[in-house]
Amino acid sequence: MEAISLHPIGYVISPVSEPKDMPPGGVAAEIEVLPQYQPGLLRVEENSHLWIQSWFHMASRDQLIAHPRGNQHLPEYGVFAMRSPGRPNPIALSLTKLIKLENNKLYVERLDAVNGTPVLDIKPYFENDIIFSPRTPYIPGKTRTSHQDTLLRQALAHHQEKCPSLYLAVRMALVADEVFGHLNNPELMINVTGSACLADTIQGLTRARLANPARFFYDFSTSLHQTIWTMNGRGTLTLTWLGNTDIMECADEELFSMDFKLD
């Protein structure tokens, strides 16, 4: 087959210049679309989120197997089974939030491409892009803090609002993850009692549905904030909020009453 020739439609303007300095989840950045392609931006601002396809020009192109996120404690995966930047054709796919459009410049959040990265294409994020409960491998963060940060980004992407119940859900999910592993496991049942925000965030983090299979159960309460996590053959974990409002900083024991019963 003949070689494929691609031409950038624009370039990334980012405060981050080196891949090693890019934080997980990306940063606020700009995409400057070349003048000849500017007409292609017509009505792009009607979308809240955009897929950015870019060429990771600084990535290795001879890599086929790697540890996810560089974590040597995790098993190796083929690059086509994960989101490693190094791959034969380093085409990156980034889901960004569009802040505004000014002439030929897109201002976005959560872009993980460094300054000067060539942009190959821009596509809107549609409802059809959603698979609410996908099957994925369990790839925890390298540290507890990094894993909590990942859960927080996922919670914000789903719930779309920073509130105490969101932070409480993140801390609950972190503890449950450490006990049961992958929160998307179809064998993991979740009962939530508390605010609608707590329930919504927990559902977004676990991808638990009300049916097919039924994994998620919810009771509204203003006085009790509790999650009960159950997996057959493993046990039941009950986390009850003690009322400490320093949610993201205090120790688990100061935040929750925790009870775990083995099956």
Paired strand residues for 220: 194
Q: Give residue 54's pLDDT band: very low, low, confident or very high (50, 70, 90).
A: very high
Count of H-run helices and E-run strands, the chain:
4, 13
Q: Give residue 66's pLDDT band: very low, low, confident or very high (50, 70, 90).
A: very high
Biggest distance spanned by C-alpha atoms of the chain: 66
Per-residue model confidence (pLDDT) at position 75: 94
On the CB side of 204, CA atoms within 13 Å amount to 23
Q: Give residue 142's pLDDT band: very low, low, confident or very high (50, 70, 90).
A: confident
Under 8 Å between Cβ of 173 and 151: yes
Angle (CA) 196-200-206 rounded to 5° is 145
Model confidence pLDDT, tens digit, residues 182-228: 999 999 999 999 999 999 999 999 999 999 999 999 999 999 999 99
Per-residue model confidence (pLDDT) at position 228: 98
- Quote the radius of gyration of the chain (alpha carbons, Å): 21
Which amino acid would we find at residue 234? R
Model confidence pLDDT, tens digit, residues 124-141: 999 999 999 999 999 888
Q: Distance (Å, rounded) from C-alpha 49 to C-alpha 69?
A: 24
Per-residue model confidence (pLDDT) at position 71: 86
Q: Which domains are delineated in the chain?
A: 10-129 (2.40.30.70), 144-262 (3.30.1330.130)
Selection from 119, 150, 115, 114 nearest residue 8 by Cα: 119
Q: Give residue 8's pLDDT band: very low, low, confident or very high (50, 70, 90).
A: very high
| Cα-to-chain-centroid distance, residue 91 | 19
CA distances from 251 to 79, 102, 172, 254, 262 (A): 37, 45, 12, 5, 23
Q: Distance (Å, rounded) from C-alpha 38 to C-alpha 9?
A: 9
Selection from 206, 185, 202, 184 nearest residue 193 by Cα: 202
Paired strand residues for 29: 108
- Return the structure tokens found at 183: 């929160």
Residue 78 pLDDT > 80, yes or no?
A: yes
Under 8 Å between Cβ of 233 and 239: no
